[in-house]
Amino acid sequence: MCKEGFAPIGAGVRSVMSKLTLAAVLDGYSRRKDRSVSIRFHTQELTSQGIMDIDAMCDSFGILYFRPGEKVNADELAELEKVDLTDFDNPKSQSQRLRAVLYLLWQREAPDMEFRDFYYQQTEKIINHYKSKLDE
């Protein structure tokens, strides 16, 4: 183990309980159709173990903190520990989740109807339900 409880996993890479810190160059980004952004980083050469540790984190949800410079201080690491990801546990938005649930309901209850019509009908019911609460 290295200082501060970090285990060495490759040139410039430190890992703690499924976390990693490494020196990297922000290489570029691409805008995606869903309005998100894909960000590319390049690292220095890594050991096989370092690559395996990064590979084990693929498709994981987490925090990305990038700051130009060479060193991260203890205050910055402490701030990162305070970030609460519970609002982001589900990668789908609430509207995407509702649409997916309505789609499954449509398949089960109204497959002869067009999904677009079923979706409109069900969302109108939800909207009218909450509008009626405003009138009370």
Render pLDDT for 48-73 as a digit per residue (tens, 0 to 9): 988 888 888 888 878 888 888 877 78
* Pair (27, 79) in one structural domain: yes
User: What's the structural domain count of the chain?
Assistant: 2
* The pLDDT value given to residue 14: 46
* Pair (9, 54) in one structural domain: yes
* Pair (81, 100) in one structural domain: no
DSSP 6: P
CA proximity to 20, closest of 60, 85, 89: 60
* Pair (13, 49) in one structural domain: yes
* Pair (79, 58) in one structural domain: yes
* Pair (43, 101) in one structural domain: no
Q: What is the mean pLDDT of residues 4-9?
A: 38
DSSP 7: E
* Pair (39, 76) in one structural domain: yes
Q: Is 89 a residue whose pLDDT tops 50?
A: yes
* Pair (60, 101) in one structural domain: no
* Pair (78, 115) in one structural domain: no
For residue 54, give its domain range: 3-85
Q: How far apart are CA 11 and CA 37, in angstroms?
A: 28
Mean pLDDT of the chain: 81
* Pair (74, 105) in one structural domain: no
Q: What share of the chain is helix, strand, coil (3-state, %, to 5)?
A: 45, 20, 35
* Pair (55, 115) in one structural domain: no
Beta bridge partners of 21: 14
Q: What is the mean pLDDT of residues 7-11?
A: 42
* The pLDDT value given to residue 20: 77
pTM for the full model?
Answer: 0.47
Helix (H) or strand (E) holding 39: strand 37-43
